[in-house]
Amino acid sequence: MTEKIRILVIEDEALVADDMREMLNGIGYAVPGVADTGEGAIALAAVHHPDLVLMDINLSGTMDGITAGGEIRSRWGIPIIYITAFATQAIIDRAKKTTPSGYILKPFNERQIQTAIEIALYNAAIERQLKERDETIRALLNAVPDDLVLINSERKIIAINESMAKKLGLMPAALIGRKIGDFLTSSVLSGMLDRAITSPVTGRPTYFEEELNNRWFETQVHTVADRTGTDMRIVIQSHDITDRKRLEETLKQEGISQIGQNMEKFQILNDQIRNPLQVIRGYLALDHTKYSDAINKQVGMIDNLVTQLDMGWLESEKVQQFFLKHRPVFNQSLDEQQTEGDLP
């Protein structure tokens, strides 16, 4: 058997309070405390953290039940059921603002109070689940270092993480329901959203890379159909790939200089090969045999091969020069990298 539901009874008439405690115990609830003032109610709630509070509106002391109920509800999220013998519209309006879980008029019977409590507890459980789900979604949204935003086919923001909201300069809550188009700076992304919204859902995300404010981003647009299949949701996820880009450039650069170094080795090697060729050719010229022409021909073939390697070297230098000359942006980012030192 699970633990009993614990309910606080706040009532300034001692007899009524006793009746209520008995009734609740009879139904099967526990009553960990009874108070007859608003201050007393808050003190009990702080100690017991009950599952529910039955709150009389008229209490002894200066604080009435609505004030105490509002306080308990906002501090601990505990559901409140107000009980009163009379209800003017003004009182109901005040009570409404504290989002009560129920409102019972005296005199009441056991059946009424049990129904009200059960509905209130059920609603409280649902509310808690929703809140947990919100928390989970929020945690998921913010766990990724990427910028994330979910929109519907009307381009309204349904969910957004803190990273993305920060870039847009507003709190996430302030952005929900706003049109994404009011904030986009990337024309590429605008175009992709247009296409995503007008095309059927394929389930395949589309990617693009873009440089914005000296940083590189890989952005993914993923369209998903909603459960009814009548509307769609679009997830926009943007990943900062600046470091990766820089690393790629560095590797490319290292590759180029590696080729250059290899070719330089070729150059030295070629000289080393041609020297013995020269000597062979010399001895052949000195002492002509019937094989001289054949050997000379082979020497010529080796020499041609070496010449081809030489030309490769000259070309590689040209490629190298070309890369270095046409990469001013890259050179600049290398400088930044050195000052920032943020490359892994």
Residues that bind other proteins (CB under 8 A): 267-268, 270-283, 285-286, 299, 303, 306-307, 310-311, 313-315, 317-318
CA 29 from chain center: how many Å?
Answer: 43
The residue among 12 and 310 lying less far from other proteins, judged by its C-beta, is 310
At closest approach, how far in Å is the CB of 189 from other proteins?
40
The residue among 121 and 277 lying less far from other proteins, judged by its C-beta, is 277
The residue among 191 and 276 lying less far from other proteins, judged by its C-beta, is 276
Largest CA distance in the chain: 137
CB count, 10 Å around CB of 260?
16
Backbone phi, then psi, for 146, in 5-degree steps?
-80, 170
The residue among 135 and 315 lying less far from other proteins, judged by its C-beta, is 315
Element (H, E) at 112: helix 110-143
At closest approach, how far in Å is the CB of 289 from other proteins?
15
Sorted by sequence, the CB contacts under 8 Å of residue 309 that are 6+ apart come out as 266, 269, 270
- DSSP 3-state assignment of 51? coil
The residue among 119 and 280 lying less far from other proteins, judged by its C-beta, is 280
At closest approach, how far in Å is the CB of 213 from other proteins?
37
- DSSP 3-state assignment of 225? strand
At closest approach, how far in Å is the CB of 318 from other proteins?
5
CB count, 10 Å around CB of 264?
13
The residue among 262 and 278 lying less far from other proteins, judged by its C-beta, is 278
At closest approach, how far in Å is the CB of 298 from other proteins?
12
Nearest in space to 234 (alpha carbons), one of 271, 293, 179, 315: 179
At closest approach, how far in Å is the CB of 275 from other proteins?
5
Kindly tell me the sign of the dihedral angle through the C-alpha atoms of 309, 310, 314, 320: positive
Give the span between the Cα atoms of 150 and 332, in whole angstroms: 35
The residue among 127 and 317 lying less far from other proteins, judged by its C-beta, is 317
- DSSP 3-state assignment of 110? helix
At closest approach, how far in Å is the CB of 193 from other proteins?
44
41 and 17 Cβ atoms separated by less than 8 Å: no
The residue among 212 and 299 lying less far from other proteins, judged by its C-beta, is 299
Kindly tell me the sign of the dihedral angle through the C-alpha atoms of 19, 21, 26, 27: positive
At closest approach, how far in Å is the CB of 327 from other proteins?
18
Cα–Cα distances in angstroms (integers) from residue 32 to residues 80, 123, 142, 291, 301, in the given order: 16, 22, 40, 117, 104
